Chains A and B, each alone.
Chain A
Amino acid sequence: MGRIQLEKVSKSFGDVEVIPPLDLTIEDGEFAVFVGPSGCGKSTLLRLIAGLEDTTSGKVLIDDADVTQVSPSKRGLSMVFQTYALYPHMTVRKNIAFPMRMAGLSEDEQEKRIMAAAESLNLTDYLDRKPGQLSGGQRQRVAIGRAIVRDPKAFLFDEPLSNLDAALRVGMRIEITEMHARMKTTMIYVTHDQVEAMTMADKIVVLQAGVIEQVGSPLELYSAPKNLFVAGFIGSPKMNFIEGDEASKHNAKTVGIRPEHIDVVESGGAWTGTVGVAEHLGSDTFFHVHDTGLAETLTVRALGNVALNHGDTISLSPRVNEMHRFDDQGLRIA
């Protein structure tokens, strides 16, 4: 079991309130991702759940038991840190054994769990090495191994992939997702990377300045963002926001349309403009289009290779039914 609830939890450092009171429930077995720009309080929220920070007010519940005053080690959670936080003078084996050694498990049981974890993480050949002799990806696997052997109610990941290079990051992303599918343990994952959030999560929690902007499945967030912030944060490249007359036509303060929902047509589209930068990726082509009569530069995503270059004239046709409308407060108009 591992159902985590936050009830009116808030956190202040001195006079600065970094997290105003918030409520959140993460169901047992769920893969929840906290995402937001840096400084939005997502790591603080995770540390509140772990118990590494004390809540200023409110309650943290794990499986309906109030753990707000319970020490971090007694909460039954494991955490994986951005810097791995391995013990540098211990071998991989001793690193993984450390939580079990602290818990006073028998040598046999320790060895059994170490071998099981090492096998599932491909670490068997590295057990007698020290962390300094491992690559970044291997170190992160050791950190995950150390988290697994405790058999926790939930795993907490604090930006675990930020220190890895792009290729490794994709690989580890898949490994962690598979691990979750296999173990079905609750996982809370903090990242600033919306691609990680979209690909891994069952439930995404979008945070800004300590406030939860929206909670939902990746596709809910993609297709029905509650406000301008979520609309702009989820999706790559960013959604186009158009204000002024064009928005008024749709009875909104702002309308948003994703780059993939604007079609490039031969002629007669709603907007005609000049191609600024054209990014040819092979599978897709991204155009940054000026001089459409709108104040904003439009980003357009076309499938495959479209043979238009800098300075060419382009005709665009937005799919009106895929448009998002927002009111004066930046909230979604249904």
Chain B
Amino acid sequence: MSDRRLPRLLQSPAVILLLIWMLIPLGMTLYFSFIRYVLNSLRRPEWTKPALSNWRGFGNYEFVLENKDFLLAIQNSLFIVCSILFLTVILGVLIAVLINKAFPGRGIVRVLLISPFFVMPAVNAVLWINMILDPVLGLQGLAVAGINDLISSLQNAPVVGWFFSLWPQFEPISFRATQTSAIAVIMMVTWQWTPFAVLIFMTSLQSEDQQQKEAAILDGAGAWSQFRFLTLPHLARPIAIVVMIQAIFHLSLYAEIEIVSRGNGNKNLPYLIGEFANNNIGAASATGIFAVILANIVAIFLLRMIGKTLME
């Protein structure tokens, strides 16, 4: 027994540190979610200190569930995360396969492709919403105005004028509006995180066995069959890694949502927690626990799905 005790003893500081690291925040969140705890209350000053005497049971959870924004926030979280995952994985695989072959200037292209990943999220959001997506001053506004100008000048042209006079005026889309702000967030985060997927897939593609490909060529497999039956299964594991890491990151998106619409019609769970935490720590903690549960469900579901479809 003693020869087993020593290694355990030596491991214990690290294990205990990790447990404290994880368990104390989780324990505090759980504790706060079951008591009345607010930052400011003139009417009930005793609630401003966390104490067991303020026990509220599942009251905070009920309060959160009855909040009109809660279901929307969950829906929105899932919508944003799944859309980003879908787009980054598909774009990532396509770009990685595209730049896997040697061509002049490949080194520079790779650096350029990866650079969006180094932009800070808040900066990324400001750039996109003001300089690209703005309906008047952004690239979008300029492009739509340019197209409209072109069409209206063609309407006066001889011979083909009647054809272009049938065309409507194009309207720029406002991405700060309630219905579209989630789309804006998806676009900017996809732009930022596709490089991450490309990077992971690219390194994985370089370890692909070339003799397998040659064998497949001799076996009569065309480019698509090689991709479908060799490359894609080879990428199954990196795809799972990309999905898992991104799911964890994007469930906690905050900066982009704050900057695009200040959560107007486009809250996700972290944003809702942030709103509650302005005063009601109890409700914020209860929402946090919901977020933990959601994150686990999403992770398990996604990993199963990917494992099954790609490994045949």
Q: State the main secondary structure of chain B at its contact with A.
A: helix
Q: What is the interface size of chain A, counting residues whose CB is below 8 A from a CB of the partner? A: 24
Which B210-238 residues have C-beta < 8 A from chain A?
Answer: 211-212, 214-221, 225, 229-230, 233-234, 236
Binary CB contact string for chain B from 171 to 215 against chain A (1 if under 8 A, 0 otherwise): 000000000000000000000000000000000000001011011
Binary CB contact string for chain A from 301 to 333 against chain B (1 if under 8 A, 0 otherwise): 000000000000000000000000000000000
Rounded to whole angstroms, the CA-CA distance of A73 and B230 in the bound complex is 17
Shortest distance in angstroms between B218's beta carbon and chain A's nearest beta carbon? 5
The answer, yes or no, to whether A79 is at the interface (CB within 8 Å) is yes
Rounded to whole angstroms, the CA-CA distance of A21 and B264 in the bound complex is 75
Q: Which of A84-92, A117-125, A194-202, A246-254 contacts B (4 or more CB under 8 A)?
A: A84-92
Residues of A within 8 A of B218 (CB): 50, 52, 72-73, 77-79, 99
Taking residues whose C-beta sits less than 8 angstroms from the other chain, chain B's interface range is 10 to 19
Whether B233 contacts A146 by the Cβ 8 Å rule is no
The answer, yes or no, to whether A150 is at the interface (CB within 8 Å) is yes
Rounded to whole angstroms, the CA-CA distance of A146 and B211 in the bound complex is 14
Rounded to whole angstroms, the CA-CA distance of A73 and B219 in the bound complex is 6
Shortest distance in angstroms between B37's beta carbon and chain A's nearest beta carbon? 52
Residues of A within 8 A of B221 (CB): 73, 98, 102
Whether A73 contacts B220 by the Cβ 8 Å rule is yes
Residues of A within 8 A of B312 (CB): 89-90
Which B235-255 residues have C-beta < 8 A from chain A?
Answer: 236
CB contact between B220 and one of A81, A83, A90, A99 (< 8 Å): that residue: A99
Whether A98 contacts B219 by the Cβ 8 Å rule is yes
Rounded to whole angstroms, the CA-CA distance of A50 and B221 in the bound complex is 15
CB contact between A83 and one of B211, B216, B233, B311 (< 8 Å): that residue: B211
Which A54-106 residues have C-beta < 8 A from chain B?
Answer: 71-73, 77-79, 81-83, 85-90, 98-99, 102-103
Query: Assuming A89-B233, A89-B311, A90-B312, is B215 touching A81 (CB within 8 A)?
Result: yes
Whether B217 contacts A85 by the Cβ 8 Å rule is no
Shortest distance in angstroms between A210's beta carbon and chain B's nearest beta carbon? 21
Whether A102 contacts B215 by the Cβ 8 Å rule is no
Shortest distance in angstroms between B214's beta carbon and chain A's nearest beta carbon? 5
CB contact between A85 and one of B211, B220, B225, B234 (< 8 Å): that residue: B211
CB contact between A87 and one of B212, B217, B311 (< 8 Å): that residue: B212
Rounded to whole angstroms, the CA-CA distance of A98 and B219 in the bound complex is 7
In the complex, what residue of chain A is closest to B236 when comparing beta carbons?
A89
Rounded to whole angstroms, the CA-CA distance of A103 and B219 in the bound complex is 8
Residues of A within 8 A of B225 (CB): 102
In the complex, what residue of chain A is closest to B232 when comparing beta carbons?
A89
Most A-side CB within 10 Å, residue of B209, B219, B220, B225: B219
Residues of B within 8 A of A87 (CB): 212, 215-216, 229-230, 233
Shortest distance in angstroms between B13's beta carbon and chain A's nearest beta carbon? 38
Shortest distance in angstroms between A2's beta carbon and chain B's nearest beta carbon? 15
Whether A99 contacts B211 by the Cβ 8 Å rule is no
Whether A102 contacts B217 by the Cβ 8 Å rule is no
Residues of A within 8 A of B229 (CB): 87, 90, 98
Residues of B within 8 A of A83 (CB): 209, 211
Rounded to whole angstroms, the CA-CA distance of A243 and B221 in the bound complex is 56
Whether B212 contacts A102 by the Cβ 8 Å rule is no
Whether B217 contacts A72 by the Cβ 8 Å rule is yes
Which A198-256 residues have C-beta < 8 A from chain B?
Answer: none
Residues of A within 8 A of B236 (CB): 89
Residues of A within 8 A of B212 (CB): 85-88
Whether A99 contacts B311 by the Cβ 8 Å rule is no
Shortest distance in angstroms between A188's beta carbon and chain B's nearest beta carbon? 14
Rounded to whole angstroms, the CA-CA distance of A82 and B234 in the bound complex is 20
Shortest distance in angstroms between B234's beta carbon and chain A's nearest beta carbon? 8
Rounded to whole angstroms, the CA-CA distance of A171 and B63 in the bound complex is 76
Which B74-131 residues have C-beta < 8 A from chain A?
Answer: none
Whether A73 contacts B217 by the Cβ 8 Å rule is yes
Residues of B within 8 A of A71 (CB): 217
Shortest distance in angstroms between A95's beta carbon and chain B's nearest beta carbon? 10
Rounded to whole angstroms, the CA-CA distance of A50 and B215 in the bound complex is 10
Which B285-312 residues have C-beta < 8 A from chain A?
Answer: 311-312
Whether B209 contacts A99 by the Cβ 8 Å rule is no
Whether A52 contacts B217 by the Cβ 8 Å rule is yes
Rounded to whole angstroms, the CA-CA distance of A79 and B219 in the bound complex is 9
In the complex, what residue of chain B is closest to A103 when comparing beta carbons?
B220
Whether B219 contacts A81 by the Cβ 8 Å rule is no
Whether A81 contacts B216 by the Cβ 8 Å rule is no
Rounded to whole angstroms, the CA-CA distance of A86 and B230 in the bound complex is 10
Whether B217 contacts A98 by the Cβ 8 Å rule is no
Whether B215 contacts A79 by the Cβ 8 Å rule is yes
In the complex, what residue of chain B is closest to A99 when comparing beta carbons?
B219
Whether A102 contacts B219 by the Cβ 8 Å rule is yes
Shortest distance in angstroms between B9's beta carbon and chain A's nearest beta carbon? 38
Whether A102 contacts B209 by the Cβ 8 Å rule is no
Rounded to whole angstroms, the CA-CA distance of A81 and B217 in the bound complex is 13
Residues of A bordering B, CB below 8 Å: 50, 52, 71-73, 77-79, 81-83, 85-90, 98-99, 102-103, 143, 146, 150
A-B CB proximity, top 6 nearest = A99-B219, A73-B220, A85-B215, A102-B220, A85-B211, A89-B233
A sample of 23 cross-chain residue pairs with beta-carbon separation below 8 angstroms, ordered by A number, consists of A52-B214, A71-B217, A73-B217, A73-B218, A73-B220, A73-B221, A79-B215, A79-B218, A82-B211, A85-B209, A85-B214, A87-B215, A89-B234, A89-B311, A90-B312, A99-B218, A99-B219, A99-B220, A102-B219, A102-B220, A143-B215, A146-B215, A150-B219
